[in-house]
Amino acid sequence: MLTEFRNPVSFARRSYTNRRSLAIIAGLAATLAIAGCHKKAAAPPPPAPPAATAPEPTASITATPDTITAGQSVVLTWHSTDATSATIEGIGPVPTAGTRTVSPTESTDFNLTVTGDGGTANATAHVTVNAPQAAPVQESNITEQEFEENVKPVFFDYDSYSIRPDAQSVISQDASYLNQHPNLKVVIGGYCDERGSVEYNLALGENRANAAKQALVNAGISPDRLRTVSYGKEKQFCTEHTESCWQLNRRSQFTLDQ
């Protein structure tokens, strides 16, 4: 029977190597076990968000109308956003939005200042105040007869209120006289002939008076100096029942407005 031969040196080397490997494995296992015993470090908290910034306020103000004559009134209207207080120079503290009626005696800047958590805002409305005009003085030295000699009537065709071509020269002469006497005020009467109903002729007479007024305005006369009235067929300049007579009644007549 053969007996296995063992080399003592080789056997000793293998035993040493095995023991060393076991020691390394044991050390690694111990290291992992120790690492597992430690708690995982907590993540740092996120940075705090930046503090919110308050919005800047806005302001606006208007004046209606923005041009007046001394003694008249103006309505101030103002608005704001993100404001906690408001002041108008010359008026004092006011709501952050609103209206106010004022009567400035001279041209004025209305300065609005609003304040909020986000700062201050300003706005301005300018109002121009003109000096009052002197009231026109009626020229008392002009008589009605003199006036009628210089300011002639305008005649119309049947059932019409259109200014005829031949009336244009009359309107020009009338306007020239009125421009030379700027303080005169005038009543323009609209007349019709006897034909037709009372209601129809009142409307036609009004149209004729307005047509004559517009013609004078186009010639440079201020409409504030002109007043119209319709007489229809109530007042006849001629009472004959003929075309020539009816023509005299179809007119716009100018008289002094006393």
pTM reported for the whole predicted model: 0.47
Mean pLDDT in residue range 82-101: 92
Give dist(CA 46, CA 68) in Å, integer.
63
Structure tokens at 257: 């407005």
> Residue 31 has what pLDDT?
58
Number of H helices, E strands in the chain: 5, 12
Residue 3 has pLDDT above 70, yes or no: no
Do 78 and 171 lie in one domain? The reply is no
Question: pLDDT tens, 7-36?
Answer: 555 555 555 565 666 656 666 555 555 555
Write the DSSP string, 122-170: EEEEEEEEEPPPPPPPP-TTS-HHHHHHHS--EE--TT--PPPHHHHHH
Whether residue 155 sits in one domain with residue 104: no
| pLDDT tens readout for residues 202-258 | 999 999 999 999 999 999 999 999 999 999 888 888 888 888 898 988 899 999 987
Query: 149 and 112: one domain?
Result: no
Considering Cα of 182, then 187, then 193, then 196, what sign does the dihedral take?
positive
Q: What Rg do the C-alpha atoms of the chain give, in angstroms?
A: 51
Among 92, 107, 130, identify where a domain stops: 130
Sheet hosting strand 74-81, strand order edge to edge = 58-64, 74-81, 98-102
Co-location of 157 and 246 in the same domain: yes
pLDDT at 52: 74
Q: Express as a percent the part of the chain with pLDDT over 90.
A: 53
Which pLDDT score, from 0 to 100, does residue 101 have?
Answer: 86
The total number of structural domains that make up the chain: 2
Q: What CATH number did the domain enclosing 92 receive?
A: 2.60.40.10
Over residues 109-133, the pLDDT tens digits come to 999 999 999 999 999 999 999 987 6
Whether residues 168 and 88 fall in one domain: no
What's the pLDDT at 72? 86
Residue 109 CA to residue 129 CA, distance in Å, equals: 11
Q: What is the 3-state secondary structure (H, E, C) of 23-72?
A: HHHHHHHHHHHHHHHCCCCCCCCCCCCCCCCCCCCEEEEEEECCEEECCC
List the strands of the sheet with 67-69, edge to edge: 67-69, 119-130, 108-116, 85-88, 92-94
| Domain limits for position 112 | 58-130
Looking at the fold, whether 177 and 125 belong to one and the same domain comes out as no
Share of the chain above pLDDT 70, in %: 80
